[in-house]
Structure 1
Amino acid sequence: MAPRRSPTARHRRLMAELSRLREDSGLTRVQVAERIGSTDTTLWRYETGLTRPRPSDVSVLTEVYGVTGEARDSLIQMAREARQRGWWHRHRQALKPGFDSYIGLEAEASVVRTYEPLVVPGLMQTEPYARAVIEATAMTQAPSEVDEKVSVRISRQQLLHGPGDPIQLVALLDEAVLRRQIGGRAVMREQLEHLVDLGKLPNVEIRVIPFSAGAHAAMDGKFCLLSFPEPEDPDLVYLEQATSGLMPEDPEEVRRYTLMFGSLSALALGAEASATFIAQMARRCSAP
């Protein structure tokens, strides 16, 4: 299948490549700017992602850096792709700051590893459950804004089923996620049954961290790790708060969360035991 392509991920790769090429050339931003008739501030904005360069800008830079052939063509094509707009772009005003960038990177990720202590992760929510969560957390938003957020959340779930290579999802859920009744008994039962069904997919692994596991390394809150199909794209971590999202790319911080996820995995029930536990919780929701 054709690989998924995301403008956000293409832009992330492009800015890293432009920075690497300049450093490898031994030139400063000022020296490069003089050669292309631009400013060092413009180059800084290209390399930090604040500005998306045009393909013609990248073409000029490849001449300065001595990049030719397929490597040059690849960079120019990357610039074209980076300037496109993903489907999520039109919804950016309805999303918390930083989350549109996360969706763009998630769209090209090969593996998503997520730890959730309170609610079912968005990629696995049913529509009624998603609406109940969004209504509870939105507090002051108009119904139309709630509808838009629900639509975005459900649209993201196409990543689990295609088109293209489906994303690999590994979800570690605190037991509280299964016990917190959101949207009423019927909505919760449907959601739990949906988790059992999702866990049967070859690209989805759902594991439960039981209360009996006690204290653990992630008690400060939820997080999500993204890995990408190309080795040139390093992993990143996404941290979500009530009003914003943060994606620190410091390798040491990403490493810390990677180790944390491994620690949590050691505490979680296996996939089969987790499925049995979730099914039991769903039956409890059916009981009078």
Structure 2
Amino acid sequence: MAKSSTLRRRRLSRRLRELREAAGLTAAHVTAEARRRGKGKWSRGKLTRIENNEWLRPSIIDVEALLDIYAVTDPADREAYATLTKEARNTGWWVGYADVLGKGAYVGLELEAATIRTYEALVIPGLLQTEGYAQAITRGHGVTDEADIERYVEARMARKQILAPGSSGPQVWAIIDEAALRKIPAEIRPEQVQHLINVQRPTLRVQILPDTAGLHPATAGSFSILDFLDDPPVVYREDVMSQLFYEDPVEIAHCEMVYRHVQAAALSVPDSQAFLENMLNE
């Protein structure tokens, strides 16, 4: 499995926060001590940004300074932190698509997720989109320049490599609202619907939430739950202005409960297959 620098930064931030809390130190005290020792530049709020994972390329000097303050002296432990910091400084393939993906925070997490559970209310999940659908939805977002459209589609197709046969990518469980299917343009609907049928396998399942299910707990909108082997889960949502990540255990538990209710309201996997096949025959 490829290593995600995004996940490594998140892990490093979490572990540094845990070290400070275990030492019983406040952020203000640590900042003052780092300044006194003169290792790195420490402005007000810097440590908070580090612990909130609001950094792009972690500084090895900063991490070493914190390890000194937290009395981490074991050579093996310090070497592990040095390795983690170096991995967190790497750049992923998505950096080349920063013009269309921004910081690529979600893509970086998606890369190393063990499982992805997603509910989509109005669009087909990105990992399950055909090239034709990706083009159509990009135009639907108001992009008119053909070169820009091509960049968006290239990035979307590159993301799908984690699901390529033989890859060690995540297990995916996607619940797609019937509304998303009905919004697929007629000229590309057969190809996209057929793709949803073809991708089904033990590690990738698709369920359809029909209109007949009525109101349900996820009427507030789409979301994804990403689980990792060695890190806490993350819930991801996005709107027209921003990407949102939820990591608080209470928030995670709530979203997991919502997902279970939506999954129970959706058609079974075999019935969802039949639903999709019926769409092809309409």
With normalisation by structure 2, the TM-score equals 0.90
| Alpha-carbon distance in 2 for matches of 1:216, 1:251 | 23
**Residues 189 and 283 in structure 1, CA contact (< 8 A), matched pair in contact too:** no
- Post-superposition offset of 1:163: 6.6
Between 74-83 and 22-31, the greater mean CA deviation after superposition: 22-31
**Residues 9 and 58 in structure 2, CA contact (< 8 A), matched pair in contact too:** no
Question: Residue 237 of structure 1 aligns to which amino acid in structure 2?
Answer: V
- Post-superposition offset of 1:190: 1.0
1:24 has 2:22 as partner: yes
| Alpha-carbon distance in 1 for matches of 2:129, 2:215 | 26
Aligned to 1:197: 198
| Alpha-carbon distance in 2 for matches of 1:248, 1:234 | 11
- Post-superposition offset of 1:94: 1.9
Between 105-114 and 64-73, the greater mean CA deviation after superposition: 64-73
Aligned to 1:240: 238
Aligned to 1:114: 118
- Post-superposition offset of 1:278: 0.9
| Alpha-carbon distance in 2 for matches of 1:10, 1:119 | 30
| Alpha-carbon distance in 2 for matches of 1:177, 1:43 | 43
Aligned to 1:84: 90
SS in 2 for 1:217: coil
| Alpha-carbon distance in 1 for matches of 2:18, 2:165 | 33
| Alpha-carbon distance in 2 for matches of 1:264, 1:161 | 27
Aligned to 2:7: 9
| Alpha-carbon distance in 1 for matches of 2:165, 2:61 | 33
Structure 1 segments unaligned to the other structure (5+ residues): none
Aligned to 1:48: 52
Question: Residue 210 of structure 1 aligns to which amino acid in structure 2?
Answer: P
| Alpha-carbon distance in 1 for matches of 2:45, 2:9 | 18
Between 38-47 and 275-284, the greater mean CA deviation after superposition: 38-47
Aligned to 1:280: 278
- Post-superposition offset of 1:266: 0.7
Alignment of 1:174-253 (within 5 A): 174-182=177-185, 184-185=186-187, 187-199=188-200, 201-230=201-230, 233-253=231-251
- Post-superposition offset of 1:65: 2.1
| Alpha-carbon distance in 1 for matches of 2:157, 2:143 | 22
1:104 has 2:87 as partner: no
Cα-Cα RMSD: 2.0
- Post-superposition offset of 1:107: 1.2
Aligned to 1:143: 146
**Residues 209 and 267 in structure 1, CA contact (< 8 A), matched pair in contact too:** yes
With over 3 angstroms needed to count, the CA separation of the structure-2 counterparts of 1:240 and 1:31, relative to structure 1, is: closer
| Alpha-carbon distance in 2 for matches of 1:217, 1:147 | 36
Question: Residue 259 of structure 2 aligns to which amino acid in structure 1?
Answer: F
SS in 1 for 2:246: coil
| Alpha-carbon distance in 1 for matches of 2:47, 2:166 | 36
Structure 2 segments unaligned to the other structure (5+ residues): none
SS in 1 for 2:208: strand
- Post-superposition offset of 1:160: 1.2
| Alpha-carbon distance in 2 for matches of 1:266, 1:126 | 27
| Alpha-carbon distance in 2 for matches of 1:251, 1:195 | 32
Between the two proteins, the alignment pairs up a number of residues equal to 274
SS in 2 for 1:261: helix
**Identical pairs, percent:** 36
Question: Residue 61 of structure 1 aligns to which amino acid in structure 2?
Answer: L
- Post-superposition offset of 1:153: 0.7
